[in-house]
Chains A and B, each alone.
Chain A
Amino acid sequence: MKLTFSIQGSDFTHAGYPSSEVKKVLKQLDIDGKTIKKIVIALYEAEVNVVAHAWKGTATIEIEENKISMLLEDEGPGIPDIDLAMQAGYSTASKEVRDMGFGAGMGLPNMKKNSDELIIESEVGKGTKVKMVNYF
């Protein structure tokens, strides 16, 4: 089954909506709680990255019998050096974002840790695509 959400840049108040909706569905499917938690954490971080760093984006979630695929596509500044961005603690978050309690540079490392597959493609000045897969 497929779920789609749009994500608005800089709207921190509503960040987390897609992940909590996905959580509801996974719970109704009786997926193991630890697995759900990992998925929710990974997806939440990915959403927040769109909110914090990009202008706008979409989250497309596809749930199949044994796996969940999460695709986050955004229009935004892109990531010039993905390997660098993946490093724990690396962040370009603005002061404004840091004041909201984000910007520790832990989002991408957390996504890596909590997903079974993570692929990032990015084009500077255009946007970023993050694809994550978790198996049940």
Chain B
Amino acid sequence: MSGSPIYHALNVTKCIGCTHCMKSCPTEAIRLVNGLAVIDYDRCVYCGQCHRVCPTNAFYVVQDDLAMIHSFKYRVILFPSIMIGQFPEKYSEDQIYDGLKKVGFTHIYEVEQPLQVLIDSINEVLKDPDTPKPAISVYCPAIVRIIQARYPDLTENIILRKAPHNLAAHFAIQRLMKEGARREEIGLFYATPCIAKIAAVKSPVGEAESIVDGVVNMNHLYNKVMKVISDSEVPDYSDQRQNLSREGITWSLTRGESCHFGSRGIAIDGIHNAVRFLERVENDQAQGIDFIEMRACDQGCASGILLSGNRFMTVERLERRAKRYPSAKDIRPEVIKLNTSDLKEKLVLEPIMPKPHFIFGKERVKAMEKMTRAQRIVCFLPGIDCGACGAPNCHALAEDMVNNKAKMSDCVFLQQQWESEGRISPNKAFLNVQKKWGTDRFKADCNKRGRRNEGF
């Protein structure tokens, strides 16, 4: 369907064509074709909403092969603190670190360190009178992409500072090189909580190339570690966590950023909430707010689609863990001989460009004709937004029609009407529906969803 890179896809043998993903996609990027979901990757912002609502786990994530880590002498795993919250409580931090070592990594760093460097850097941006307000955090890549696509003017409000995994990557390089490693011997692997972060590494926005050499699906890594983890005595890995702070541990949670910035910071989580709020920001209806933390996932990364734990339990566990750690400002860089100014420099992002995807073509007169036609079509559609046509709602179907991607007869209600008016034979009408939904759709099937009392 497009030349855009693909980081998630659909397992066609699992998809049951239930319309859930199509209806909850915030960019209307999904249609049902022949009874199966099809993603338009040009519109996809990788928020993972479709994974979340899929009742059959039909979406899967494209990932790097973990075996590739062995082409490096120094193999660094960078993972967000949130991963610690996934493991059963009986395992200590060191036991988890030890498990990661057994999986094949030589150095283990949580990404949110040394956080004060990032906090200072973001504060510099916020202090600059030229920074448009409200300034929006760059943290969640799905949010960045949806801003580029749907709120192109707000790209100017995005804070041009990289995400924690970049911070930790540069920090790891600095540390390892100090210990005598050569740059090309260091492999950096980032355990991601979501496809948005995978996309951010694979086709970065605002940087030419990601510093990270590969991404590891966190769910996959979790399973690997669980296989080798030991609950007996393990070595002490606390030197790898020297720069980890209270703020770092909760950074990926809702309010993890907003509580540090601005005189009036606000935190929005959940992709649909984000869309509604961005609409407000675009209309200048967020006056007085100077900092916006915005995450595609409810409870922030605690509900990233590659996480396995319950998000509320994860949050509680991280909050408890955070209490045991010092505040970021109390970790003095001189103690650990960090070159913070070098780190800071590396955190600066290039401007983020708008990429409006929702325009009706470049030629205004033609676009207006199309929109007028779509509006006219909507007059004849029932407005039920049932999705049986394969489009998420009646309006989307009308838009698809004027873009020659759908036809009037795709609407099952119109078909019924035409049938009753004798304009189309019942047989032809049924064939139309079969074409959309496949011939098997109408066979009796006692394993069908809903059959096993899967309702409320």
Q: Which residues of A are at the interface with B, using a C-beta cutoff of 8 A? A: 1, 16, 19-20, 23, 25, 27-30, 33-34, 37, 40-41, 44, 63-65, 136
B375 (CB) vs chain A CBs: closest residue: A1
Known: A1-B371, A44-B283. A33 touches B360 (CB 8 A): no
Cβ contacts under 8 Å, A28 to chain B: 358-360, 367, 371
A29 touches B359 (CB 8 A): yes
In this assembly, does B209 line the interface, its C-beta being within 8 Å of a C-beta of chain A?
no
In this assembly, does B350 line the interface, its C-beta being within 8 Å of a C-beta of chain A?
no
CA gap between A34 and B364 in the complex, in Å: 17
A-B pairs, top 6 by smallest CB distance, nearest first, are A33-B153, A30-B359, A1-B372, A28-B360, A29-B367, A65-B365
CA gap between A132 and B15 in the complex, in Å: 51
In this assembly, does B64 line the interface, its C-beta being within 8 Å of a C-beta of chain A?
no
Cβ contacts under 8 Å, A37 to chain B: 153, 284
CA gap between A96 and B362 in the complex, in Å: 46
In this assembly, does B62 line the interface, its C-beta being within 8 Å of a C-beta of chain A?
no
Q: Which residues of B are at the interface with A, using a C-beta cutoff of 8 A? A: 152-153, 279, 282-285, 356, 358-360, 362, 364-365, 367-368, 371-372, 375
- Classify the interface of chain B: helix, strand, loop or mixed: helix
Distance from B324 Cβ to chain A, minimum over Cβ atoms (Å): 44
B373 (CB) vs chain A CBs: closest residue: A1
B154 (CB) vs chain A CBs: closest residue: A33
Known: A1-B368, A20-B279, A44-B283. A33 touches B375 (CB 8 A): no
A30 touches B283 (CB 8 A): no
Task: With A1-B372, A29-B360 given, name 7 new contacts (CB 8 A).
Answer: A1-B368, A1-B371, A28-B358, A29-B364, A29-B368, A30-B356, A30-B367
Distance from B372 Cβ to chain A, minimum over Cβ atoms (Å): 4
A40 touches B356 (CB 8 A): no
Cβ contacts under 8 Å, B365 to chain A: 65
B364 touches A65 (CB 8 A): yes
A16 touches B283 (CB 8 A): yes
In the assembled complex, 18 residue pairs joining A and B whose CB atoms fall closer than 8 Å, in A order, are A1-B375, A16-B285, A19-B283, A23-B283, A27-B356, A27-B358, A27-B359, A28-B367, A30-B356, A30-B362, A30-B367, A33-B152, A33-B153, A34-B153, A40-B283, A41-B284, A63-B368, A65-B368
A29 touches B283 (CB 8 A): no
Cβ contacts under 8 Å, A1 to chain B: 368, 371-372, 375
Distance from A62 Cβ to chain B, minimum over Cβ atoms (Å): 11
Which of B282, B284, B365, B372 is most buried by chain A, counting CB atoms within 10 A of its CB? B282
CA gap between A63 and B284 in the complex, in Å: 23
Distance from A109 Cβ to chain B, minimum over Cβ atoms (Å): 16
B368 touches A30 (CB 8 A): no
CA gap between A46 and B121 in the complex, in Å: 42
Cβ contacts under 8 Å, A20 to chain B: 279, 283
Cβ contacts under 8 Å, A44 to chain B: 283
CA gap between A25 and B364 in the complex, in Å: 12
B283 (CB) vs chain A CBs: closest residue: A40
CA gap between A1 and B367 in the complex, in Å: 11
Cβ contacts under 8 Å, A23 to chain B: 282-283
Distance from B237 Cβ to chain A, minimum over Cβ atoms (Å): 50
CA gap between A94 and B75 in the complex, in Å: 69
CA gap between A80 and B364 in the complex, in Å: 41
CA gap between A130 and B284 in the complex, in Å: 23
Cβ contacts under 8 Å, A136 to chain B: 364
Cβ contacts under 8 Å, B372 to chain A: 1
CA gap between A77 and B282 in the complex, in Å: 33
CA gap between A37 and B281 in the complex, in Å: 11
CA gap between A30 and B360 in the complex, in Å: 8
Cβ contacts under 8 Å, B375 to chain A: 1
Known: A20-B279, A33-B152, A65-B365. A25 touches B284 (CB 8 A): no
Cβ contacts under 8 Å, B367 to chain A: 28-30
CA gap between A136 and B367 in the complex, in Å: 15
Distance from A100 Cβ to chain B, minimum over Cβ atoms (Å): 14
A30 (CB) vs chain B CBs: closest residue: B359
Which of B279, B285, B364 is most buried by chain A, counting CB atoms within 10 A of its CB? B364
Distance from B363 Cβ to chain A, minimum over Cβ atoms (Å): 9
Distance from A110 Cβ to chain B, minimum over Cβ atoms (Å): 11
Distance from B283 Cβ to chain A, minimum over Cβ atoms (Å): 6
Known: A65-B364, A65-B365. A29 touches B371 (CB 8 A): yes
Cβ contacts under 8 Å, A41 to chain B: 284
Distance from B405 Cβ to chain A, minimum over Cβ atoms (Å): 16
Cβ contacts under 8 Å, B358 to chain A: 27-28
Cβ contacts under 8 Å, B360 to chain A: 28-30
A19 (CB) vs chain B CBs: closest residue: B283
CA gap between A44 and B283 in the complex, in Å: 9
Distance from B392 Cβ to chain A, minimum over Cβ atoms (Å): 16
CA gap between A44 and B359 in the complex, in Å: 23
CA gap between A81 and B145 in the complex, in Å: 49
Cβ contacts under 8 Å, A16 to chain B: 283, 285
CA gap between A23 and B280 in the complex, in Å: 12
A65 (CB) vs chain B CBs: closest residue: B365
Cβ contacts under 8 Å, B285 to chain A: 16
B362 (CB) vs chain A CBs: closest residue: A30
Cβ contacts under 8 Å, A64 to chain B: 368
B153 (CB) vs chain A CBs: closest residue: A33
CA gap between A40 and B282 in the complex, in Å: 10
